[in-house]
Chains A and B, each alone.
Chain A
């Protein structure tokens, strides 16, 4: 192996593959990354190991399937090998700047292996956040109850009350920056550049996780302008986000907000792209660029009513959620066209490690496809999994729900939802948007092949190593779950 290179891992929250220019999007979200893609390995079909964030990241950083340690465990187990721990042990300097995503915090084990880990969850930041009072008076509650006895009146009441709340909480002095709930990409890149500037010639691992395309969608004004969406003003942005978040609206009524919401989301992507250009410029100026591998991907995508949903629910494992961009820029390596078969995120860490000259640990579930990537070789299929009903992993009860298991090869995709007792098989060639599940009698061979693969996934042996990691993680969670536990209630009641 040649001399170790440094590694920059960029993960973007909620970035679906088809919203990047280098994957065919027609909006100018990623002009810089499109240029970079021209000299990078671009994986045509990178697939998240799970969604959302808490089911995706064990695949990215620890090269294992999200439920491999049992559904009791969320995050990285204490002592589990990750990109960061492996590289720290190899003598790398390590730092992570994570844009205030609570599921990527130290409490879920993500700080392991990083000498600098900033998640910005409890710090003073140059953004204010937003607090909208949502308390209804007793009179209002009574009117709501009466109105909802007649469905048309209930709907009218909800609309009027929503408009009333928007008017009452609107402020003329609102700006995009004051509305934003997490640090924007420029803030993270500033921090990362300061750290890069402090390094000597030691190889380093830098992980940046951006939240700019994540809801609520409040991009910087500069990004909106770059996207030609500057006519959307902050007060409209706030209204749109509030409306998009309404639980009482059906798909048809939400549809009227969709285009503007997508514009806000896309502007968030554009801001990440702009800041990555700046990061690379700094790497060049520090003479680090020619010895650095840059990997860019997303933890999962985002739904804009594609299958009737919004945001990124674990019960919606369609391609807008699982198909993510993945590019790997490796200096000195000739660009080749990569296989268009699904490439699972669980193979990303070992492949990236081999690309920088570090041997991946045996404990990883995924394995390196570095050799195949260099010669344009093939890989076969991808499995993704999550707990469909787990929208809040802090709630231990929800974590124990039924699995949603997805197996896909180049052409077919099987979705097994054990909660809804539903099985869907799609032909992605003739139906890339997954609009029509095949009838049970269609494509029996493909169905059986993917069912077998799903079974093999569930039958893979639980290693002693995994059992120990699971136990360590559960010991950690005894403390975390204290307030939600049944025993806690019993303890207080006794």
Chain B
């Protein structure tokens, strides 16, 4: 399950994630991290579901982090898509590309489910399924 973690200035300097791994035993893979002096945001892949996942989330929330569970899959409805490209350059990991025909191509392995493209699409052809 992919999670977006938002840190505040009260917890951004603490080793919250390593403590979470030690306490819950869940293996966590950091996909993206932006940490500043007063705030931070991370996208992680937590190798857990059900109770383990709930345990991890409640631990992180107790530490003051805001958790958003990211969708499982990104779907681009190509019947709705007008091949404009509005989702392409905003994608932070380059998971959406344009072919020489200007049609959209999506690389699921690069996608971190951040949802930037969902809002960027002017014809609402992209959604995150949960």
Pairing of A with B: no
Residues of chain A having any CB pair with chain B under 8 Å: none
